[in-house]
């Protein structure tokens, strides 16, 4: 029987160490025949955020981060380091990958294919319950018109994402360029690909009624220099045109 592997639970935490926080990064991937489940916690400026599959990112409070750290310690996940086993006799089952970096410089790297370290089931259940039970703050709606919070080029800088997968932007009254192209969303990122004469590629993170600019890997815009973490706030919904 052919083994089917789909992306399951992926959890990526990446934030600067702060008081009481021992985890610097946490990356957990789980795959099975069940439908995809995907969790990611990441730092957006000074704000830790959660992204769950098919929803927008949302801020996460310090209590949740502390609870996650407690799970790691309670189930002795540090002891998983170096675990790398597989069971070739099971054709349809589960696979996992775990990478953790702690503030003290120690790391945990573990992987298994139908073979798991001690307390694995209990740890996964606790992590899933912790993050799945957090209330969602958005219905996942992305299309709409957004206005840049900073100063535009002689007026409002607006960005419109349409339901048909195209977008336009206009940096202000002094701009002689009307931008536009195609947008797509993969995991927690929105990718803009310019098609109006310029080769501009930009990345944003969608949150509730907000698009946050990601400078890394982005070309930026023509007249307005948007900094990393610059925000575009929704001003109206839009339909496809």
Supply the DSSP symbol for 35: P
Give CA–CA dist 18/126, Å, rounded: 23
Number of domain units in the chain = 2
Which distant-in-sequence residues (6+ apart) come within 8 Å of 54 by Cβ?
A: 140
Rounded to two decimals, the pTM is: 0.74
Asked if the structure places residue 1 within a domain, the reply is no
Q: List beta partners, residue 14.
A: 25
Residue 142 burial (CB count, 10 A)? 16
pLDDT in tens, the chain (241 residues): 334 333 444 444 444 444 344 777 778 878 876 666 777 878 787 788 888 777 788 888 888 888 989 999 999 999 999 999 999 888 778 888 888 878 788 999 999 999 999 999 999 899 889 988 887 766 668 999 999 999 999 999 999 999 999 999 999 999 999 999 999 998 889 999 999 888 999 999 999 899 999 999 999 999 999 999 999 999 976 644 4
Q: Please check whether residues 195 and 219 belong to one and the same domain.
A: yes
Enclosing domain of residue 178: 144-236
Taking CA atoms, 48 is separated from 65, 178, 194, 200, 213, in Å, by 9, 34, 30, 28, 16
Q: 106, 132, 158 — which closes off a domain?
A: 132
- Tell how far CA 70 is from the center of its chain: 22
Q: Please check whether residues 127 and 35 belong to one and the same domain.
A: yes
Asked if the structure places residue 139 within a domain, the reply is no
């Amino acid at each position: 029987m052919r083994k089917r592997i789909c992306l399951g639970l992926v959890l990526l935490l990446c934030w600067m160490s702060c008081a009481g926080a021992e985890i610097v990064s946490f990356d957990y991937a789980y795959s099975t025949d069940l439908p995809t489940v995907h969790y990611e916690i990441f730092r957006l400026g000074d704000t830790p955020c959660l992204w769950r599959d098919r929803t927008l990112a949302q801020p996460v409070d310090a209590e949740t981060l502390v609870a996650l750290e407690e799970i790691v310690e309670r189930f002795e996940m540090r002891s998983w380091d170096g675990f790398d086993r597989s069971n070739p006799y099971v054709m349809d089952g589960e696979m996992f990958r775990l990478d953790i970096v702690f503030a003290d410089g120690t790391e945990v790297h573990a992987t298994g294919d139908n073979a798991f370290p001690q307390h694995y089931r209990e740890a996964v259940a606790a992590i899933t319950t912790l993050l799945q039970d957090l209330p969602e703050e958005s219905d996942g709606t992305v299309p709409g018109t957004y206005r840049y919070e900073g100063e535009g080029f002689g007026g409002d800088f607006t960005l419109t994402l349409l339901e048909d997968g195209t977008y336009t932007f206009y940096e202000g009254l002094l701009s002689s360029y009307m931008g536009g192209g195609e947008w797509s969303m993969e995991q927690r990122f929105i990718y803009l690909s310019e098609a109006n004469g310029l080769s501009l590629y930009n990345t944003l993170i969608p949150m509730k009624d907000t698009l946050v600019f990601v400078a890394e890997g982005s070309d930026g815009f023509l007249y307005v220099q948007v900094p990393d973490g610059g925000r575009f706030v929704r001003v109206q919904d839009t339909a496809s045109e």
